[in-house]
Chains A and B, each alone.
Chain A
Amino acid sequence: MDLSLGTLGSAASALALGLAVYALIAGIAGAVRRDARLQTSARLTAVAVFLATTTAVIVMQAALLTDDFSVKYVAEHSRIDSPIWVKVVTLWAALEGSVLLWAWLLSGYTAVLAVTTPNHALRAWALVVMQGVQVFFLGVVALVANPFIVLANPPFDGPGANPLLQNHWMMAVHPVLMYLGFVGLTVPFAFAMAALITRRPGTEWMQLTRRWTLAGWGFLTAAIISGGWWSYEVLGWGGYWAWDPVENVSFMPWLTATAFIHSVQVQERRRMLKSWNVLLIVLTFALTILGTFLTRSGVVSSVHAFGDGPVGPVFLGFFVLVTLLSLGLVAWRWDQVRDRAELDAAVSREGAFLLVNVLFLALTFMVLIGTLFPLIVEAVNGSRVTVGAPFFDVVSLPMWMLVLLLMGIGPLLPWRKAETQTLARNLLWMTGGFVLAAGGALVFGLREVYPVLTIGLAGWNLVSLGLLLAGAVVPRARLTGRGLAATTMRYAFEQRRKVGSMIVHFGVVVVALGIAASSGYRTDVQLRLPYGERVAFSQYELQALAPFSERGAGRVSVGVEVAVFQGGRQVDLLRPHINAFGNNSMTVPTAAVRYTLGHDLYLSVAGAVDPTADGVIMRVIQSPLVTWIWFGAVILALGTVWTLVPPRGQVPAALPAGAATGRARA
């Protein structure tokens, strides 16, 4: 056999699998026999696995960039005249490449953990768990969905990546963020398992992985919202979330991870919820695998499921294995993690966190049941049923309102027991904020229940954040005699976790307002725009100028230039068009959006663009505050980063090995 990129890639992935299997076995043996040399060998092998997977990724990129159609994956998903960025991102445009990317990121995380984790009782077993997951993914790459299979008769050109994916640069970002999030949440899972195995169910596993967990959560959040923006710009109906199965299965781990990052604080502060936190992280990890199974096996259909493959049963098997093994481990160590919890008062920080847990778990259950229900019914009596967006909206909206309500109260409650007087005063202020905001909304003529409630709760939360910040900063300023601004800055730099969470919560408020306004007050019409005439729409006048057609790399576009007038003055020129890629018969209507802070004007060609016709049919949408969702996401991300950056002059996360055994904290 001659040396082609295909064989090279196959060899690299087989080598990676072999090394990972060795690292797994050596890791287990080293951990069981407390053999430092074997453990070191396993750690160094983790780095070697990363080098091998990196080689495989480089080989795949080389094959994509050089249009080597003897490699099956390239032949099936790439195309000569695609622009370079599309060729690069084709790595994750279909199933086999996505699994390779997942394995590569996982090996990267594992290598970093192997090298940087201090010598700690949990390290050996945590790396074993990471390596076990790694063996699964590399097994899929090397044995089940090998992207490097060599074709005997390579085609001269391929069909190119799915047009929906080529149509937007977000495709280069969103999937990577998603996998970074999924893989990031594997780390706390691995350490939780290690904590069970080594009988150290204290808080050390969550303290060691705090940054990994938050980073994973941050990536997942960013991935979900950027996916929403992709939908908004590409799918042409002016929405960003459709409760589609693929969206749902990425949302479920986010919900449980959100519950987790709140719930661990109860254990850190109050030594409660040991078993619950372990179960939450098991659930989070298992849901990422279940989600991959559901969407990649074709058992649920979705607009976002790009590429089915033979991996369905394998992922289902792995899901069952992970669930059984981790739950078995929890059961085996039950007497260690069983809570001997005490609660001083229900109205306390820990009480609020308990309620957050219930809410997020109920939301997870609702999403799961809604997504799987059609499958279950069809399996039981063969009838086809639909559970769609209206169901999820109706069921989840009351719960979201409770989440927002709780988000305002929780951070203001002290641990152990809230003082009734302070609580009453805070609640009074916050209710004032609610009444003011909701009343304002009513005065301005808003009548829809949930948008008005959301606006009210935004007021509630803003007051809460103000109280929180004032409560921290004002006494400090008084004590030190410094100015308020200077004290706030100091506080922000010193208390990064607290301030970071405030920023994140503020981001959530902004996102919530964007969602409430844009889903409650959207105008959605289909207009006929005769060329040259001005057609009134809302406060605008739209004038279709002339059709155009243009050719880009591997792409043909036809569209219409539409001048947007406001108050008689032209304020924008939008170019909604329809893209066709290569010889793919699928055309993608590509919306043009005028983004403003108050609302978006969204144009999408709804018919054929016929130069001989005297007009064009256009879907025209005006949707308020959509941009707030994207701004809010940026705030969320900044807040997450803020909590992650270690305070100046302090080395992150280097817990001394001895500090682990549940030392008392004030």
Chain B
Amino acid sequence: MRSLPRALRLAAIAAGVAALLLGVSLAQDIMLDPRVFEIGNELRCPTCVAESVGESNASIAREMRQIIQEQLDEGRTRAEILAFFQDRYGDWILLSPPRRGVLLLVWLLPVAAVLVAGGGLVMLVRRWRAAAEEGVAPVAAEDLARVRAALSGADTEPSASDEAAPHAPAPRP
């Protein structure tokens, strides 16, 4: 709310500027060049719901586009123009929140989420791989012999070389 009177003052100034500009620029065809919209897309339209200065058709957005053009004509850079609006409206005017203070959080949280989720996935994959290896652990020679003995019904003691490789499940890599 605190920025509203300021916004109105700015609008009044802008209207004056726009009127001047309109008189001056009648001769030339390009009224706003592409950089204006690029910078406008970084700024919030103060009176709109969720629209940028580049998008909106509201009068304040049109005036702000004029101001951007004027400042570009004066040779100011994109950063200077954004700072100009930031001074007047606060961080709120920037659609890309500045990376400091509480706003840093909104940048860090998604990154943190990716790291945590990625880390969690790596851990899960490790555990599941371990489970897969356990699941097909080679059978002890002794147990195998007992099973064979039970199957054949014979009472013979199997020799060590008897538990041939083809029957034993190979451990997976």
Contacts and interface: CB of A to CB of B under 8 A. Distances in A.
A653 B97 CA distance: 49
A529 B105 CA distance: 46
Among A303, A389, A526, A535, the most chain B Cβ lie within 10 Å of the Cβ of A526
Contact of A395 (B31, B48, B110, B124): B110
Contacts of B12: none
B129 A343 contact: yes
B109 interface: yes
Nearest to A523: B34
A479 B51 CA distance: 59
B41 A302 contact: no
Interface stretch (B70-78, B114-122, B142-150, B153-161): B114-122
B106 A369 contact: yes
A462 interface: no
A394 interface: yes
Nearest to A614: B26
B106 A351 contact: no
A302 B48 CA distance: 9
A362 B114 CA distance: 6
Among B103, B114, B131, B135, the most chain A Cβ lie within 10 Å of the Cβ of B114
Given A341-B128, A341-B131, A395-B110, A390 B41 contact: yes
B67 to A, nearest CB: 14
B26 A528 contact: yes
A340 to B, nearest CB: 7
B97 A365 contact: no
A369 B51 contact: no
Contacts of A272: 128
Contacts of A340: 131
Contacts of B55: 235, 237, 239, 242
A303 to B, nearest CB: 6
A149 interface: no
Interface in A332-375: 340-346, 351, 354-355, 358, 361-362, 365-366, 369-370, 373
Given A385-B103, A391-B97, A245 B50 contact: yes
A386 B118 contact: no
B30 A525 contact: yes
Interface string A290-328: 000000000011110100000000000000000000000
A236 B57 contact: yes
Main secondary structure of the interface of A (DSSP, over half): mixed
Contacts of B44: 386, 388
Given A242-B50, A344-B132, A525 B32 contact: yes
Given A362-B110, A369-B110, A528-B29, A385 B125 contact: no
A244 interface: yes
A369 B109 contact: yes
A102 B38 CA distance: 39
A526 B114 contact: no
A617 B97 CA distance: 32
Size bin of chain A's contact surface: 35 or more
Contacts of A300: 50
B121 A355 contact: yes
A248 to B, nearest CB: 10
Given A302-B49, A395-B107, A524-B54, A346 B125 contact: yes
B50 A342 contact: no
A527 B30 contact: yes
A239 B51 CA distance: 12
A387 B103 CA distance: 9
Nearest to A394: B96
Contacts of B34: 523-525
Nearest to A589: B57
Given A239-B55, A343-B125, A386-B95, A526 B31 contact: yes
A527 B56 CA distance: 17
B110 A344 contact: no
Given A341-B131, A526-B30, A529-B29, A361 B57 contact: no
B94 interface: yes
A360 to B, nearest CB: 10
Contacts of B103: 377, 385
B113 interface: yes
A390 B44 CA distance: 11
B102 A381 contact: yes
Contacts of B106: 369-370, 373, 387, 391
A384 interface: yes
Interface string B27-47: 011111110111001101000
A394 B26 CA distance: 38
The 5 closest A-B pairs by CB, nearest first: A388-B95, A390-B96, A526-B32, A343-B128, A342-B132
11 contacts: A237-B55, A305-B49, A341-B124, A344-B132, A345-B129, A358-B121, A369-B113, A370-B106, A388-B52, A527-B30, A606-B57
Given A305-B49, A342-B131, A354-B125, 13 more contacts: A303-B51, A343-B128, A358-B118, A361-B117, A362-B113, A373-B106, A385-B91, A386-B91, A386-B93, A387-B106, A388-B44, A525-B37, A589-B57
Interface of A: 235-237, 239, 242, 244-245, 272, 300-303, 305, 340-346, 351, 354-355, 358, 361-362, 365-366, 369-370, 373, 377, 381, 383-391, 394-395, 399, 523-530, 535, 589, 606, 617
